[in-house]
Amino acid sequence: LRTPMSSIRAFSEILRGVEVLSPQEQVRYASIIQEETIRLTRLLDDLLDLSVLENGQVSLNVSTGSLRDLLDHSVAMARVGRDAAVMQIQRNIADERVWLCTDLDRLNQVFLNLIVNAHKYCDAAEPKLQIIVRQSAQQLTIDFIDNGSGISNEDQNLIFEKFSRIGGHESGGAGLGLAISREILQRLQGDITYLPGQNGAAFRIRLPESVVGGVARTDLSSTDY
């Protein structure tokens, strides 16, 4: 919280100050203030969201939809403002023919954080993210496995704590995404864990069988791409 606040303060003081600034300088400082304000707003939204989730005050908004559509949506959202060619995403569409009945917005929030994290933190020369769906009688699992250097044993538990950020990534966020995801999955009666030993960072989402409503109707006639 402190960093965006102090740059907003410093640059607004410069803009208001006695020193004469060129139009270019004015625009540059105003843009910094604007960017930092956006960052701060996001941070506050996330903090508020987390505290609401932690207090159990959150009501679920249950709807139905196919897992494939939901993943399409999350992948597309994660790519906004990023070069889509940079990270290859491998999926098996046939396995995604699952009809879900749960809070799809909340699940999207979890998927989005995992995909954005892979975009931000996967350090492979040719970054890849695999999304693997498995369905058994008891549960649905969705694995997100990238080919970066992964997360060390001692950090694997830390990353689910709020404000935990490993390594000094430039593009890093506040360190709230995984903490929020863990709370969300608890509400959805599932969980999210780190999967060690996968040659990259790997996360597993588990959802109870009760969220699954059979084969997705919309996907029955579609062909894989």
Ligand X SMILES: Nc1ncnc2c1ncn2[C@@H]1O[C@H](COP(=O)(O)OP(=O)(O)OP(=O)(O)O)[C@@H](O)[C@H]1O
Q: Which residues bind ligand X (CB under 6 A)?
A: 46, 113, 117-118, 121-122, 146, 148, 151, 159, 164-167, 169, 172-179, 201
Nearer to Mg ion, 127 or 177 (CB): 177
Nearer to ligand X, 98 or 118 (CB): 118
Task: Looking at residues 164 to 223 of the shown chain, list those that interact with Mg ion (rule: CB under 5 A).
Answer: 177
Residue nearest to ligand X (CB): 173
The DSSP letter of residue 60 is: P
Taking the complex as a whole, the smallest distance from the CB of residue 201 to Mg ion amounts, in Å, to 11
74 belongs to the binding site for Mg ion (CB under 5 A): no
Taking the complex as a whole, the smallest distance from the CB of residue 103 to ligand X amounts, in Å, to 19
Region of 47 on the Ramachandran plot (φ > 0 left; ψ -120 to 50 alpha; else beta): alpha
135 belongs to the binding site for Mg ion (CB under 5 A): no
Vertex 126, ends 163 and 83: CA angle to 5°? Answer: 70
Taking the complex as a whole, the smallest distance from the CB of residue 7 to Mg ion amounts, in Å, to 21
Residue nearest to Mg ion (CB): 177
Stretch that binds Mg ion, among 29-37, 40-48, 52-60, 115-123 (CB under 5 A): 115-123
Taking the complex as a whole, the smallest distance from the CB of residue 34 to ligand X amounts, in Å, to 19
Residues 6+ apart with CB under 8 A from 79: none
Taking the complex as a whole, the smallest distance from the CB of residue 51 to ligand X amounts, in Å, to 14
What is the three-class DSSP state of 139?
Answer: strand
Nearer to Mg ion, 33 or 114 (CB): 114
Burial class (CB in 10 A: 0-12, 13-18, 19+), 96: buried
In the list Mg ion, ligand X, none, the entry touching 151 (Cβ below 5 to 8 angstroms by class) is ligand X
Helix (H) or strand (E) segment spanning residue 68: helix 67-79
Q: Compute the distance between CA of residue 122 and CA of residue 117 in angstroms, rounded to an integer.
A: 8
Phi, psi (rounded to 5 degrees) for 215 = -75, 135
Taking the complex as a whole, the smallest distance from the CB of residue 44 to ligand X amounts, in Å, to 12
Residues 6+ apart with CB under 8 A from 203: 114, 143, 144, 145, 192, 193, 194, 195
Nearer to Mg ion, 23 or 81 (CB): 81
Nearer to ligand X, 15 or 158 (CB): 158
Q: Compute the distance between CA of residue 166 and CA of residue 33 in angstroms, rounded to an integer.
A: 27
Applying CB under 5 A, the residues found at the interface with Mg ion are 113, 117, 177
